[in-house]
Amino acid sequence: MNAALAAGKNLLVTPGVYHLNQTLNITRPDTVVLGMGLATLVPDGGITAISTADVDGIELAGLLVDAGTTNSGTLVQIGPSGSTASHASDPTQLSDVFVRIGGATVGKATNSLVINSANTIIDHTWIWRADHGNSGTVGWTTNTADTGLIVNGANVTAYGLFVEHFQKTQVVWNGNGGRTYFFQNEMPYDPPNQASWMNGSGKGYPAYKVAANVTTHEAWGLGSYCYFSSNSSVVADHSFEVPSVSGVKFHDMVTVSLGGVGTISHIINNTGGPSNSSTNVAYLTNYP
């Protein structure tokens, strides 16, 4: 596959499970990698499954990246670290690109999807640490995974972003100008106790964090749910964490304690909520 990419070809990946012994390196602008029947890529030996150059117009679609048994630092990386080029006229797009850790095998990955290239479009992406699957493939110390999505590039847009069950902050947005239209999240079901799920002195980790240095970001339609089935006394301080600046705006948020199993104390920062055994659902229309 790398030889074909290096020769300037696009890839049509037929249905199946493909174990990778080297990273798929996409360097040519406007390259298309299209999976059929949810073609599955498994990075062996802790490698990154897909890495792209900071170029215009790459199209990735119809793929599942399934973490391998050796921990990968990153599973999919769009643009190298420090990418700064504008791609406003011809952005890279990920459509129906899914990432899973555990469930089929004992997958492990520190970060699942890292977006460094500016103007990237994320179109219907489910990134999840499996909460169930084949016997022995899930568990707090089994399918370990810190973060689902890290966005470092500027002016990145997500449509239909689903990120679930990661053990630390699920989405970390470091780039300016980001926009998200619909976000769905479930916190990890399986923290064994509060001490195992602490962010410094804070209880739990947010589902979606906009970094403190960001000055412009906007998101619409966001839901975050807890179901701390391993220990219902576990608490998350909040689902959304953002800097208190006028250019960062969130609209139409909901938090839910499913069946009252666990607590989300606030919706965003110290505002809204709680969702707990007494009040399962909490809403907030706008922040600030």
| DSSP letter (8 states) at residue 275 | B
Q: How many CB atoms lie within 10 A of CB 200?
A: 4
| DSSP letter (8 states) at residue 223 | E
Cis status of the peptide bond prior to 274, with omega within 30 of 0 = yes
Are residues 199 and 239 in contact, defined by beta-carbon separation less than 8 angstroms?
no
Strands 208-210, 198-199: pairing is unpaired
Widest pairwise Cα distance in the chain? 61
Helix, strand, or coil (residue 227): coil
Task: Point out which residues pair with 13 in neighbouring strands.
Answer: 35
Helix, strand, or coil (residue 29): coil
Q: How many CB atoms lie within 10 A of CB 233?
A: 9
Are residues 112 and 99 in contact, defined by beta-carbon separation less than 8 angstroms?
yes
Question: Shortest CA distance to 232 belongs to which of 207, 268, 199, 257?
Answer: 257
Distances (CA, A) of 120 to 77, 144, 179: 12, 27, 11
Q: Which of 164, 186, 218, 241 is the catalytic position?
A: 186
The question of whether 186 is a catalytic residue gets the answer yes
Question: How far is the C-alpha of 120 from the C-alpha of 135, rounded, in Å?
Answer: 37
Active site residues: 186
